[in-house]
């Protein structure tokens, strides 16, 4: 081959190469643009999805924040109520102890008063026994048949322990005392004072 033909072929191939490279370059750019568009669209979908999730998380976070604040205020209220109730319980326990002490004191005082009442009844009975011989001459006040533990039921002198509801219900007459304890109030003479 001749040098002129060689140069001519080189120039021709170089211009064809240039055209071919431009054509390949434009195809490559178009392919990149289309490929990047699809990539951009995919990435944009992911970004949109992430933004939606982020908004949902923000809303949920706000809801949880409101719930946390509400629970915190309830917690404070509960703690305040607990402190108040503990104080009230302590006061009630102190009041209970005071009332219990008063009750125990009153119970002892009641027992003392019962003893005093019983003693006053015994003393009153003894006064009556002492006054009977004074007003009625035929009654002996020192007679052993005058017993505070005996009573007259249906005209018979019986022991109170036998007539109590705790007993067997049978009333036994004391035969020895029945005849000597009849007191006649009508027609008996009184001493003149």
| Residue 34 pLDDT | 78
Query: Measured between alpha carbons, how far is residue 46 from residues 59, 61, 87 in Å?
Result: 20, 22, 60
Residue spans per domain, the chain: 143-181
Adjacent-strand bridge partners of 190: 136
Please tell me whether residue 179 adopts helix, strand or coil conformation.
coil
Quick check: pTM over 0.85? no
Q: Specify whether the CB–CB gap between 149 and 158 falls below 8 A.
A: no
Residue 180 has φ and ψ, to the nearest 5°, of: -90, -10
Average pLDDT, the chain: 79
| Residue 157 pLDDT | 75
Closest listed residue to residue 179, CA positions, set 143, 149, 148: 143
Place of tokens 């033909």: 5
Q: 167-170: long-range contacts (C-beta < 8 A, 24 or more apart)?
A: none
Task: Tell me the pairing of strands 156-159 and 150-153.
Answer: antiparallel
Distance CA 168, CA 162 (A): 8
| Under-50 pLDDT residues of the chain | 167-193
| Residue 142 pLDDT | 72
């Amino acid at each position: 081959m001749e040098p002129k033909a060689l140069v001519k072929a080189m120039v021709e191939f170089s211009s064809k190469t240039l055209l071919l490279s431009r054509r390949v370059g434009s195809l490559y750019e178009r392919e990149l643009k289309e490929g990047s568009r699809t990539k951009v669209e995919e990435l944009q979908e992911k970004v949109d999805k992430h933004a939606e999730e982020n908004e949902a998380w923000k809303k949920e976070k706000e809801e949880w924040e409101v719930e946390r604040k509400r629970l915190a205020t309830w917690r404070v209220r509960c703690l305040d109520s607990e402190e108040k109730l503990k104080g009230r319980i302590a006061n009630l326990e102190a009041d209970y102890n005071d009332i219990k002490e008063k009750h125990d004191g009153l119970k002892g005082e009641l027992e003392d008063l019962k003893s005093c009442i019983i003693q006053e009844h015994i003393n009153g009975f003894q006064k009556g026994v002492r006054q009977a011989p004074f007003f009625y001459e035929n009654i002996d006040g020192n007679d052993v048949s005058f017993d505070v533990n005996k009573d007259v039921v249906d005209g018979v002198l019986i022991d109170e322990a036998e007539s109590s509801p705790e007993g067997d219900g049978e009333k036994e007459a004391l035969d020895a005392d029945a005849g000597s304890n009849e007191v006649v109030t009508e027609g008996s003479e009184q001493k003149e004072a």
